[in-house]
A and B are shown apart, each in its own frame.
Chain A
Amino acid sequence: MNTPPIAELKAVSKSYRTAGGHELKVLDDIDLAVHEGELLALLGQSGSGKSTILRCLTGLVQPTGGRVLASGKPLAGVNAESSIVFQTFALYPWLTVAQNVAVGLMARRMSRAGRDSAVEHAIELIGLGNYHAAYPRELSGGMRQRVGMARALVSQPRLLCLDEAFSALDVLTAENLRQELLSLWRSRESTLSSIFMVTHNIEEAVEMATRVVVLFPHPGRLGLVLENPLPYPRDTKSPEFQRLVGIIHETITTLTLPDLPPEPPPAAGQPVSRAHARMESIPYVPVAQILGLMKVLHDSPELSNLYEISDEIGTDFGETIAIVKAADILDLVDTPKHDVYLTELGRRFIAADREGQRELFAQQVFKLRIFHIILALLGEHEEVEADRIVRDIATALPYDNPEKTFETMIAWGRYAGLMDLNPKTRMVFVPKEEEALSHAPAN
């Protein structure tokens, strides 16, 4: 390509300190370029680091390693040719619509008349005609995001960045805004050349983007790059469209739920004493959702496909995958390709009564290597400081957020009756037998 990309990341990595002071690598060796005239969508689950990529690309965040280029030159400070539309709108409640839009021009030296007419133009362009003097709190969510867009467009950026710009809106409003933005971008009436959008919504990405990139978490790295040549306006029901969506689904599934060879089953009659050889990440999923998934699989045996399940339980795909993964590492389900089946154990689990379910769950949790390590530690001491366990988790699973993993482990452990946390002393302990039998609720 002759013209350099409008914005580019070269071997960018980024680490943060978590609230607990642990170093967490969010991005690892990312190469990503937004080219002239393209609409690039970056897909990823929440927490995969996609917002960090957007912030690195625009200069809001300094990467820990690697380089950021803007039109081929190293980026210093904030990219003046880009602007951002935020998920939360980020409007200033004390400014009117017109004043909010004018914020986009504050950095420019221009005459008052020139500024007023530019603001006017942006407001008209984005369909806010009668709302100049209104305050954001008087507007609906969709209208607020329009103000956010007008503010982003008023400075005539060449690159527009959307940070989950539609995810806080209801379905119809979001669809409406997407179409308007697309036609605005395609009309080429403005200086707007490229759009870079970050989203967790697969259909949204395929509907809008000329190129889709999938980001995988822990730490964030690019998985799939998919050109999308479908002509606009795109029909979401067309087989071509569905094929692209299918490819992305499958990639996410195989990367998140790899078909690994099964663990050797424990010999019959012997007490389970061996943990898995692999060190699994713990998906941050409440127990109640795992139980819910089991029930859905049991009640609707015709459901086997991940996407159908996702539709059925009404969560977005990334979340569904996390739940399925949780059930998968507990061996309650099997996931060949993108299908989900109950295992033998899963069937027994569903048939069991409440106490039986708890026992099965405990038995399976006990096999998870990270639980095994922590429970071994708890076997030696009466109580262990939460901080020490968090440190151990951070060592064992360096790419996961140790505090979140810890919270999930405590939640699972509570349900299983294996371990509990005293919130006052911040000590983790193994509950006594009679306490464990008092049925901790699943959620």
Chain B
Amino acid sequence: MTDSTSPQLQVVVPRQGFTWVDAVVMLALVALFWSALHFGKGMLVHFDASAQEPVDLGVSNIPYYAGRTLLRMWIAFAFSLAFAISVGYLAAKSARARMFILPALDVLQSVPVLGFLSATVTGFMALFPGSLLGVECAAIFAIFTGQVWNMAFGFYHSMVSVPTDMQEAATTYRLTRWQRFTTVELPASTHSLIWNSMMSFGGGWFFVAQSEAISVMNRDIQLPGLGSYMAQALSHGDHRAALWAVIAMIALILASDQLVWRPLLAWADRSKIELTVSQVPASSWVYNLLRGSYLFTWLGERVLRPLGELAARQGHRDAAPAPAARVLRADRLWRLAAIAFVAWLLYHVLAELVVAAEELRGALSWKEFGHIAWLGVLTMLRVLAMTVIATLVWVPIGVWIGSRPKVARLAQPLAQIGASFPVNMTFPLVVGWFVAAHIPIDWGSILLIAMGTQWYILFNVIAGAMAIPNDLKEAARVNGLRGRALWRTLILPAVFPFWVTGACTAAGGAWNASIVAELATWGDTTLRADGLGAYIAQVTRSGDTPLIIASIAVMSLFVVLMNKFIWRPLYAYADRRFRLD
């Protein structure tokens, strides 16, 4: 009826038939498979810590090492994704599970992952004796723990913020749990999940670079990869190889960004909750290319949809009305199993804690403990100094960039890549400069820490400056606001919430970075700052378990306290005073 009056829509009909794009995509998929197998094979070889094959510094080997590093990243990411989705789902669906999960995530997020490397490496090596797989698992585990908590939190938040009416519609049409998850909840969370994944993946490079070349129990262990290549190159003073490694690392980050994350973001643009067409739709050349491919349509029609129907049918069989008594018993059984599992977990955690406490009591005097706490204060001062300095430097620059859309479009991805780049690879170079210029590491480590973490402040401030509504800017101009007055009344309040997010992320990363920044080596010289990071690095090298546990616990405590007494109040304040809505 209104068809004649309403504007006709240009609906893009999916392409039929295969084209050259499909051929390219097919080739790419085959290549991907082959390389995963090829690099994966290298993970299963025999390993003996005393007779390791040294990393070959030939430039032609870089692609192989890069592939190994990349594979590690993706395996860790796959585990993180699976974990984040299942834990986030559980927390959103069950109030009882939520009671455990949310506080646990909160604490786990604060634990400095790098301090654990020694424990995990020995643990995994015991699990796979004589195989490289143990060391690989430890590296993957380090990346996993570096990114998973944040992703789980993010997924939980997007699950609980699915609009009520969408959930109600699903209830009205009696969707099964699986149908509800796949048609409503997962798509509604996709955009934030991908964005979160991208940021977490970016953070993962730091851990992969670190965990490929570690010293545990006074033994140097090297995993073939870009991180170990770089370490080897620097310890041999081979600057050409080091430069190539840096270039390869940047290429890897860029490729992941362009080939995976940008297309995914562009694809997920359609699943943003708001029904309005966004102002600047995310775009990606790869996505545009892939959209021309019939392969995905074909796969969707011939593989995914039948699978979905199969799952739906399976779901119906489950949903068949069961006698009340049986339902009750299944429910009870399930609950019993859950309780048993939690009890088992609690028992083990408690037992471990008791053992650890016993060991600690034997090995640790109060004096030593006080010393650790004092070192914690020193490192905290460094973290705070980094935050303040980075803020003073980057807020004006970020605002300048953010108020120029053209510059911002260029600079924001750059800042993001800056945040992804594992600067810890280049620390030895900087330390070399410290040695040459006689800069004490106690101060220099602040710079080292800032190198990796300042970018979070920068790109959040850019985002904040870009988000200042135009009418507010125009009003300020009409009122003749400029200089200090303009900053005080408009810019600082508008950017503040974004700055809090950036500074909180930066400070969180800074604790981890302190472990590698406060104890740094350049050739034969080792510089050691007074701080908890250096302490942890040292006891990890010597493998002193009670001290490792104590120092990590103290650092976690510092992180938790800083969150509670600095960042939470700032978040709350920003939300109360400066929310733009």
Residue numbers of A with Cβ under 8 A of B are 55, 58, 60, 77-78, 80, 82-84, 86-88, 90-95, 103-107, 109, 112, 127, 129-140, 142-144, 151, 155, 176, 180, 423
Contact = CB atoms under 8 A, between A and B. Distances in A.
B165 A90 contact: yes
A130 B274 CA distance: 23
A106 B183 contact: yes
B9 A134 contact: yes
A136 B276 CA distance: 9
Contact of A129 (B3, B179, B272, B576): B3
B270 A60 contact: no
Contact of A94 (B9, B14, B172, B187): B187
B407 interface: no
A364 B184 CA distance: 52
Contact of B183 (A58, A80, A95, A131): A95
A83 B168 contact: no
B316 A155 contact: no
A-B pairs, top 7 by smallest CB distance, nearest first, are A107-B174, A90-B165, A94-B271, A90-B169, A94-B187, A133-B11, A88-B165
A104 B9 contact: no
A155 B11 contact: no
B9 A103 contact: no
B184 A92 contact: yes
A59 to B, nearest CB: 8
Given A84-B168, A129-B3, A142-B2, A94 B275 contact: no
Contacts of B276: 137
A103 B308 CA distance: 13
6 contacts: A60-B172, A78-B171, A80-B174, A88-B163, A93-B273, A140-B6
Nearest to B175: A106
Nearest to A93: B275
Which residue, of B3, B13, B174, B184, has the highest number of chain A Cβ atoms within 10 A?
Answer: B174
Contacts of A93: 270-275
A94 B188 CA distance: 8
A91 B3 contact: no
Given A103-B175, A103-B183, A109-B313, A134 B11 contact: yes
Interface in B11-27: 11-14
A92 to B, nearest CB: 7
A86 B270 contact: no
A87 B13 CA distance: 30
A134 to B, nearest CB: 5
Interface in B182-197: 183-184, 187-188, 190
B312 interface: yes
B168 A86 contact: yes
B51 interface: no
Nearest to B5: A176
B173 A127 contact: no
B277 interface: yes
Contacts of B313: 109
B166 A78 contact: no
B479 interface: no
Contacts of B576: 423
B270 A78 contact: no
A163 to B, nearest CB: 9
B8 interface: yes
Contacts of B2: 127, 142, 176
Interface of B: 1-3, 6, 8-9, 11-14, 163, 165-166, 168-176, 179, 183-184, 187-188, 190, 270-277, 309, 312-313, 316, 576
Given A94-B270, A133-B14, A144-B275, 11 more contacts: A84-B168, A90-B169, A93-B271, A93-B272, A94-B188, A106-B173, A106-B175, A135-B270, A137-B270, A142-B6, A151-B173
Which residue, of A92, A139, A143, has the highest number of chain B Cβ atoms within 10 A?
Answer: A92
B344 to A, nearest CB: 35
B555 to A, nearest CB: 34
A131 B11 contact: yes
B190 A90 contact: no
A83 B312 CA distance: 20
A130 B277 CA distance: 20
A94 B183 CA distance: 9
B8 A130 contact: yes
B312 A92 contact: no
Nearest to A109: B316
Contact of A86 (B12, B165, B187, B272): B165
Contacts of B165: 86-88, 90
B214 to A, nearest CB: 43
A52 to B, nearest CB: 12
A84 B169 contact: yes
Given A90-B166, A142-B2, A144-B275, A83 B12 contact: no
A155 B171 contact: no
Nearest to A82: B172
B467 to A, nearest CB: 21
B275 A104 contact: no
Contacts of A77: 174
B275 A91 contact: yes
A84 B9 contact: no
Contact of A107 (B13, B173, B187): B173
B273 to A, nearest CB: 7
A92 B183 contact: yes
A92 B14 CA distance: 20
A144 B179 CA distance: 22
Nearest to B9: A134
Given A130-B8, A176-B2, A94 B169 contact: no
Contacts of A55: 168
A378 B576 CA distance: 26
Contacts of A104: 173
B169 A133 contact: no
Contacts of A180: 1
Contacts of A135: 270
A84 B309 CA distance: 24
Contacts of B272: 93
A308 to B, nearest CB: 33
Nearest to B14: A133
A103 B276 CA distance: 22
B195 to A, nearest CB: 16
Nearest to B321: A76
Which residue, of B3, B169, B187, B190, has the highest number of chain A Cβ atoms within 10 A?
Answer: B169
Contacts of B312: 106
A132 B174 CA distance: 23
A133 B183 contact: no
Nearest to B184: A92
Contact of A106 (B168, B179, B187, B275): B179
A137 B169 contact: no
Contacts of B169: 84, 86, 90, 103, 151
A139 B176 CA distance: 28
B13 A58 contact: no
A138 B173 contact: no
Nearest to A61: B168
Contacts of A155: 173
Contacts of A58: 172
B1 A127 contact: yes
Nearest to B170: A103
A107 B175 contact: yes
Given A93-B271, A112-B309, A131-B11, A78 B174 contact: yes
A133 B464 CA distance: 36
Contact of B3 (A88, A130, A139): A130
